[in-house]
Amino acid sequence: MKRKLYQSLLHWKQKKNRNPLILNGVRQVGKTYLLRKFGEEHFPKYHYLNFEKNIALDKIFEPDLDPHRIINEIQLFLRTTINAHEDLLIFDEIQASPRALTSLKYFCEDMSELALCSAGSLLGIHLNEQSYPVGKTDSLTLHPMSFEEFLLATSDKQTAEFFQSIQLDSKISAIAHERLWQQLKIYFVVGGLPEVVALYNDQKADFYAATVQVRQKQNELIKDYYADMAKHSGKVNAMHLDRLWRNVPIQLAYAQHGAATKFKFKGIVPGIDRYARLVNVLDWLENAGLIIKTYLANKARTPLVAHTKENTFKLFMFDVGILGAIDDIEPKTILDYDYGSYKGYFAENFVAQEFLCAADKQLFGWQEGTSEIEFIKQIENEIIPIEVKSGWITQAKSLKVFADKYHPAYRVVLSANNLYIDHTNKIHRYPLYLAGKFPLTS
């Protein structure tokens, strides 16, 4: 499966002042597969260690953190020779060994010639400031597969290549638009977790059977995520984690007119109705990569973060396929696009995922008075409003309110309609499936 992040790994390999790399990401997002493939294709040899699977590895780092001694010990453990100038060394599930993580600082300082990649889930949960080698590592985050990556993995070559070629002045035929729209609805069912995507791709000749197996796998993964909560929550009550995570799709389903609203803490845990008392639970889920947070700015002025409040935000699930599974929405219902206001928050959840995959580090929406816009982005010193519509009706009163007050260079509507750029009225209409390619260039 082709992942865009692969190019970032190649760029890291070619850097002159290369630090050890930490690849972050939620469990089951494909970190191990990507690093192994990277090792196979671009190094004479790669050497793989999994600290969660083999807890004995942690003992290698107990005496001291001298890289040369550590490499000698690893060679003995793996019964092989490691060429520090040519080979790749992979530390997987590094969160299970804080000492191994700290050692990256000394690999940076004393063995900079070695290509060392590490992968970790729940890193922000397990480790403290003393463990983390601040300033001595490079970092990348792998998200669930984007819609473009999904197309590359599951669609015919012609469809995927056409999607990649779309520009601002492109004409998308009705046939091509319908094809991409159908693929988007399938993505809403399957989501972007590589194991689920591979399962769908292998079984898609029998489409019904494929969707049944997809849901089964997603439900298995959901159980795994709950098991992580129980195993790794520490002082945070696992019951609170469970309740808050389940409440994200519940609150999305309560949304009026299909749009997600500000997340409310009242009623999640009996007797606790304040953000301050559940913030540690929220941080746990965010650090685990299981939720996406979008802050609501009360003014569309830079810097956007200065116009937000810590307790005012929307929450989405990290993967739209997992969202459908948790909500127990039948795949056929999603494919028929017949699930009422649910379509709205599915579309919004999808857009949030696509923006993160496109390297947005922080997401913002806008809420001022009774007007609200799902997303706003700063592009070339302009704050651009982005309205998300799940269907073909695209009336957007809040966009007009925003435009009258802030006079953006243009405004955007993402919907089920085809691509249309209205330069006269300064409205860019994108089909939802192009969210990850916004802003298109000429």
- The DSSP string of 264-312 is --TTTBTTB--HHHHHHHHHHHHHTT-EEEEEEESS--SSGGGG--TT-
Separation between Cα atoms, residue 211 and residue 189, nearest integer Å = 8
Say what percent of the chain tops pLDDT 70.
94
Question: 3-state DSSP call for residue 374?
Answer: strand
Separation between Cα atoms, residue 286 and residue 295, nearest integer Å = 13
Cis peptide before 303 (omega within 30 of 0): yes
Geometric angle at alpha carbon 171, from 168 and 173, rounded to 5°: 145
Average pLDDT, stretch 170-183? 96
What is the structure's pLDDT at 341? 57
Most trustworthy range by pLDDT among 116-130, 338-352, 405-419: 405-419
pLDDT tens-digit series, residues 204-232: 999 999 999 999 999 999 999 998 888 87
Structure tokens given for 143:
């998200």
On whether the CB atoms of residues 119 and 95 are closer than 8 A, the answer is no
Q: Band of the pLDDT at 391, cuts 50, 70, 90?
A: confident
User: Which of 102, 118, 198, 117 minimizes the C-alpha distance to 153?
Assistant: 198
pLDDT tens-digit series, residues 303-326: 999 999 988 999 999 999 999 999
User: Which of 288, 289, 314 minimizes the C-alpha distance to 376?
Assistant: 314
pLDDT tens-digit series, residues 118-170: 998 876 555 555 567 878 999 999 999 999 999 999 988 899 999 999 999 99
What is the structure's pLDDT at 275? 77
What is the structure's pLDDT at 62? 94
Q: In the predicted model, what is the mean pLDDT of the chain?
A: 90
User: Which of 316, 319, 294 minimizes the C-alpha distance to 305?
Assistant: 294
User: Which of 244, 255, 231 minimizes the C-alpha distance to 279?
Assistant: 244
DSSP 18: P
Does the pLDDT of residue 5 top 70, yes or no?
yes
What is the structure's pLDDT at 196? 97
User: Which of 241, 423, 252 minimizes the C-alpha distance to 349?
Assistant: 252
Q: Which residue has the tokens 């997600």?
A: 260
Q: Which residue has the tokens 């490499």?
A: 71
What is the structure's pLDDT at 258? 52
Residue 442 to residues 111, 164, 165, 294, 421: CA-CA distances in angstroms?
A: 45, 13, 11, 29, 12
Burial class of residue 331 in the structure, from the number of CB atoms within 10 Å of its CB (0-12 exposed, 13-18 middle, 19+ buried): buried
Long-range contacts of 268-273 (CB under 8 A, 24+ apart): 268/240, 268/243, 268/244, 269/239, 269/240, 269/243, 269/244, 272/240
Can you list the domains of the chain with their CATH numbers?
5-141 (3.40.50.300), 147-437 (no CATH)
Separation between Cα atoms, residue 273 and residue 276, nearest integer Å = 9
Does the pLDDT of residue 435 top 60, yes or no?
yes
Does the pLDDT of residue 260 top 70, yes or no?
no
Structure tokens given for 365:
């929406």
Most trustworthy range by pLDDT among 110-114, 329-333, 357-361: 110-114
What is the structure's pLDDT at 340? 58
Geometric angle at alpha carbon 417, from 328 and 347, rounded to 5°: 25
Q: Is 359 left (phi over 0), alpha (psi -120 to 50) or beta?
A: left
Average pLDDT, stretch 433-437? 97
> Alpha helix locations (H) across 43-143?
67-78, 98-110, 123-126
Structure tokens given for 331:
């795949």
Instruction: Answer with the residue of higher pLDDT: 181 or 233.
Output: 181
Q: Band of the pLDDT at 255, cuts 50, 70, 90?
A: low
On whether the CB atoms of residues 285 and 260 are closer than 8 A, the answer is no
Residue 84 to residues 30, 255, 284, 380: CA-CA distances in angstroms?
A: 26, 55, 36, 42
What is the structure's pLDDT at 126? 55
What is the structure's pLDDT at 165? 96
Separation between Cα atoms, residue 359 and residue 138, nearest integer Å = 16
Number of neighbouring beta carbons within 10 Å of residue 442? 7
Q: Each residue of 38-61: b (16+ CB within 10 Å) or e?
A: bbeeebeebbebbbeeeeebeebb
**pTM listed for this prediction:** 0.92
Q: Band of the pLDDT at 335, cuts 50, 70, 90?
A: confident
Separation between Cα atoms, residue 60 and residue 73, nearest integer Å = 7
Separation between Cα atoms, residue 382 and residue 410, nearest integer Å = 9
What is the structure's pLDDT at 123? 63
Backbone angles phi, psi at 334, to 5 degrees: -70, -45
Q: Which residue has the tokens 């849901």?
A: 215
- Lowest mean pLDDT, pick from 78-92, 248-262, 407-421, 427-441: 248-262
Question: 3-state DSSP call for residue 205?
Answer: coil
